[in-house]
Amino acid sequence: MIERNTVGRRLFIGSNYTFLTILSVLCILPLVHVLSVSFSSSAAASAGYVKLWPVDFTLSSYKYVLMKKEFFRSILVTLERVAIGLSVNMALTILVAYPLSKEVNKFRARTAYAWIFVFTMLFNGGLIPLYMTVKYTGVLDSIWALVLPGALPIFNMILLLNFFRGLPKELEEAAFMDGAGHWTTLWKMYVPLSLPALATITLFATVGHWNSWFDGLIFMNSPSHYPLQSYLQTIVIVKNFTAANLNNLKMLQEVDERTFKAAQIFLGALPILLVYPFLQRFFMKGIVLGSVKE
């Protein structure tokens, strides 16, 4: 844009920078507050002294959380879920996006397949029939109940499909001329050329699995099989705090419910806070490129 350097313009720029700064701070302020609470003594927290900086700095909440077996067990379930779920998601996304990115004259069944997949975004059977299906297929209360129903993330698949379509046709034709088949072309050409898009959908799929909590809640029969977010849901959201374990009783007196919850909230968000800044430039590029259509 072309701008003139008038007083009004400078005033606008000044207030614009101020406004955007306030807006950005507002996005992380609640997190900073919860972080401060988690590092504060329970007395200071329950008295409401803690604002944006810890009061009576202490690690007792974290010590307490890290002593809890349930917490570790749920992290293990989540890690297992992310490892299996992400592999399945990525493999299926790539394998479906490639054929569907072909022109109809190169792959006649393309349109039919595409509709079969896209229709699942438009219509679903609802909660109870899904629960019944998971039950009838015998995966209830296992890690597969968290992986198989969302094995192909349709949105990610469409993103990658559109990215594949944006690659020059000449490359593919050259590969075919040289005798490469579909598998070789996909693996040796499409995948290496699509790293920004693949990084984007890897981020989305990982965050999706890390953050899912509802499926764990309904598909797992015993709380010992809950992934981290389902476990947190029962601790942080449901208001009855029952840790009537005798060994923990002494700790419980020191650790206020509020600081304890804050520590768990922060630990649940931590991996995302750590990974996300590094992937940001990929997903911004990936989303925009993936939505470009011919």
What are the backbone angles phi and psi of residue 184, rounded to the nearest 5°? -65, -45
Helical ranges in 6-58 per DSSP H: 7-38, 42-46
In whole angstroms, how close is the CB of 245 to other proteins at the nearest point?
A: 22
Q: Could you say which of 221, 222, 237, 274 contacts other proteins (CB under 8 A)?
A: 237
Instruction: Give the per-residue SS3 of 78-89.
Output: HHHHHHHHHHHH
Residue 280 in the binding site for other proteins (CB under 8 A) = yes
Considering the rule CB under 8 A, would residue 293 count as an interface residue with other proteins? yes
**At 289, is the secondary structure helix, strand, or coil?**
helix
Number of residues that bind other proteins (CB under 8 A): 104
- Classified as helix, coil or strand, 51 is coil
> Amino acid identity of 6?
T
Spatial CA neighbour of 70 closest among 256, 220, 272, 271: 220
Which one of 86, 193, 207, 243 is in contact with other proteins (CB under 8 A)? 207
Where does this chain touch other proteins (CB under 8 A) — which range of 66-74, 77-85, 193-201, 266-274? 266-274
Q: Which is nearer to other proteins, 9 or 249 (CB)?
A: 9
In this chain, which of 14, 43, 51, 53 binds other proteins, going by CB under 8 A? 51
> Which of 75, 79, 140, 287 is the binder for other proteins (CB under 8 A)?
287
- Strand ranges for 153-274 from DSSP E: none
196 is a contact residue toward other proteins (CB under 8 A): no
Unique residue bearing structure tokens 């999706």: 208
Q: What is the rounded distance in angstroms from the CA atom of residue 56 to the CA atom of residue 271?
A: 26
Least distance to other proteins, CB of residue 19, Å: 7
Answer for which of 43, 66, 129, 195 binds other proteins (CB under 8 A) is 129
**Residue 128 found at the interface with other proteins (CB under 8 A):** yes
Give yes or no for a contact between 212 and 227, defined as CB atoms under 8 angstroms apart: yes
Tokens read off for 252: 């419980």
Closest distance between other proteins and the C-beta of residue 143, in Å?
A: 15
Nearer to other proteins, 179 or 192 (CB): 179
